Chains A and B, each alone.
Chain A
Amino acid sequence: MSPRDLPSPVGLKEEIADLFARESAGMLRYACPLAGDPDMARDAVQEAFFRFFIVRSSGQSIVSPKAWLFRVVRNYLFDYRRAASRIAAGMESLRDVPDPSPSPGGEDIVDLVQGLPQIGLSPREVECVRLRMEDLRYDEIAGVLGLQPGTVGALLNRAHDKIRKAVAARMQQEHRATRALTEEKRYAS
């Protein structure tokens, strides 16, 4: 689209409202752990939409608005963290970040997953999983993270493998603990 084909202000607002309704919740979920502060995460989401408005009102078309918005959020939060020098302390502070709202259903599996120590997912794998949870396609995730789509698939597969092994190891551990307890009771009786 050339700069001459500028979208109408009303049409643009409707486009942004529609996009906001669809994507802002997912963007906020993605941004919260990165920001370490819910207000900062909201700021990042607002900034992303405002930049979207500026770029669209300049007449440019954005091929994949969802991936574009997530990428802006990511870059914005990086700038924020760099400015606040929180990168080193980021992993520690994130333990205390409250989830914006409780997760629904599947408590057993969720408990297992949440309680796992040191699964060993790399930051890239974690980001891929999080972005995939927000229903981004592989090429969109690749665009957000600056990777090739094939690499995204491989990272997701590796992440799933690690989580699966950790869950299996945890269940085995619990099964052994249960058996040990049963044996103790039998001896005691």
Chain B
Amino acid sequence: MTRESGFDRIQFAPRWVFLFLGGNLLVHLFLLYVWNAAGQVVSIQGTTDSTNAFSVTIMAGLALWLHLVVIRSFPSGSPLRSTWCWLTVAAAAATAAGLFGQFLGSDWLLNPLTWTARPRTGLIGQIRLTALIAGGPLRLIVLAAAMRPLLRTLRRFHFQARPNAIEWIVPGIFCLFTAGRLVETGSGWLGSHPVRTEDCVALAGLPVLCLLFFQGVLLRKSLSRMGTGLIARGWIALECAILASGAGEIILWVIPHFWPAPPAAISTLIHLPITAAFALVPALTLAAQHRAMQSAAQHPENLPTGIPALAR
């Protein structure tokens, strides 16, 4: 029955997320503008499957920390304990993928694997691939696992409702997109176009993302029966994050068709808001918990008791 008392600053967690997101987006947009204005003299090419930029990794790290704070308030036996555990694992996978991909899975100067006389490029490639898998399809599978107890809990409290036919259109469109990507890749492979491993890893995540889209529709319908209170906002952020993930996949697929060598900043501009949306899930939950705890904070810790016999 102990009460958490360290909520004073954590209530601002959603603001931290927005501030970091806004600041980074501005910086990236400014750099893109300057680069474009300078006639694109410097090559800053990137591919749609490049590892996330450092800022995305920092945001993922912030999300992981917030998840670790939230999970302490859900002891074992709580209905949503397993959801928060899975979400924490997903955040850890994203952070680890970013860190390993940025440091040990790239050829930059600070990677200790490149310092030896014979740089271990094979190992670097394997680390990069593992990071892609962890941050891609593996993370999405864990997210899908997290959704199940959440939907079950919403159903238990009679919040769940059946979506109508129109509400299934968006996941349907994404399923068509997934099918199209699979066909495109398959026909390219049959037509002797080499299929990169990174493309295969990205494709492996798309069916899981389809499942997440369907779960997202159920979540959205349940939350519409709940309202837009403090609790609901955190889960609305999760629903938006899933939608944004799908939209991001579509945008990243479309861009190379019009811009053969887009700068890496484009990928950051897409991945950063998605990561921020996932970070908002625990941030808004912590803000709701803080609001609940505010009345406890009005009680003094030291109530003057004054036992006449023992303390004068």
> Interface on A for B, CB 8 Å cutoff?
33-34, 64, 67-68, 71, 74-75, 77-78, 81, 87, 90-91, 94-95, 97, 99, 110, 113-114, 116-119, 121-124, 126-127, 129-130, 142-144, 146-148, 163
User: When the two chains form their complex, are residues B310 and A121 in contact, meaning their CB atoms are under 8 A apart?
Assistant: yes
Can you sample 14 A-B contacts with CB below 8 Å?
A34-B303, A90-B306, A94-B306, A94-B308, A95-B306, A95-B308, A113-B309, A114-B309, A122-B302, A126-B306, A126-B311, A127-B305, A146-B5, A148-B2
Pairwise interchain contact B312-A124, C-beta atoms closer than 8 A: no
**A residues less than 8 Å from B303 (CB atoms):** 34, 74, 77-78, 81, 123, 127
Residues of A contacting B: mostly:
helix
Q: Is B41's CB within 8 Å of the partner chain A?
A: no
In angstroms, Cα B309 to Cα A91, docked, is 13
Q: Contacts A67-B1, A146-B3 given; indicate if A113 touches B310 (C-beta within 8 A).
A: yes
With A68-B1, A94-B304, A114-B308 already in contact, 13 other A-B pairs whose C-beta atoms are closer than 8 Å: A34-B305, A64-B1, A67-B1, A78-B299, A97-B308, A116-B310, A121-B311, A123-B304, A124-B301, A127-B303, A142-B1, A146-B5, A163-B310
Query: Chain B interface (Cβ within 8 Å of chain A)?
Result: 1-3, 5, 296, 299-312
Residues of A within 8 A of B312 (CB): 95, 116-119
Most B CB contacts (10 A, CB to CB) among A34, A68, A110, A142 go to: A34
Shortest Cβ gap from A181 to chain B (Å): 27
Q: For the complex, what is the distance from the CA of A110 to the CA of B311, rounded to whole Å?
A: 13
Complex Cα spacing A33 to B300, Å: 17
A95-B312, A163-B310 as given contacts; A130 in contact with B305, CB under 8 Å: yes
User: Given A75-B299, A122-B302, A124-B301, does the pair A130, B1 have CB atoms closer than 8 Å?
Assistant: no
